Structure 1
Amino acid sequence: MIGTVIGSCDFRMKGWINRLAVDPTYRGRGIAKELVTRMEKTLKERGVVVIAALIELPNPASINLFKKLGYTVHDSIVYVTKRESDEV
């Protein structure tokens, strides 16, 4: 597998790009851009009007990709987790 994208939408018609990954060997070839673009198309076809993604820091490549695709960075979101094990 070269890359993958997983998306979802909720009852408010907000879309999410839940997961985006490209094999390091294939990065820099526009694959992530194509995956996001296709997911956006799929979500819009389902009536989604807002699309969001959460990016764990540090990840400047992902942040720059989403900025180039017209996304706005917000620093008003709090990310919380609950871990059952430190091994994850």
Structure 2
Amino acid sequence: MLNLRVDDFMVELKDGAIKNVGPSNKTGSAKLFDVESAEVREFGDKRVKLVFEDDEGNEVQVALFPENVRKIASDIENLEDDSPVFE
């Protein structure tokens, strides 16, 4: 299940084209639940891409610099040691 939230979002659809309407102060978040597959691969010369997909074909991609990936890997290790989720 993909959950999208976009604040202050308005677009104009005209002749098949989408155009931003209003100021460019929009914010948004995406959440993907019930992930069926997760993949890690190189992205360009300096980043790592994490790709998550659910059973409905919804996909979220996140490109991170290596230091962010290392921090997440460390956080996962710490969670494995302390959380009953991994038991």
Q: TM-score, with normalisation over the residues of structure 1?
A: 0.23
Q: TM-score, with normalisation over the residues of structure 2?
A: 0.23
Structure with more strand by fraction: 2
Structure with the larger RCO, 1 or 2 (CA within 8 Å, 6+ apart): 1
Structure with more helix by fraction: 1
Larger Rg: 2
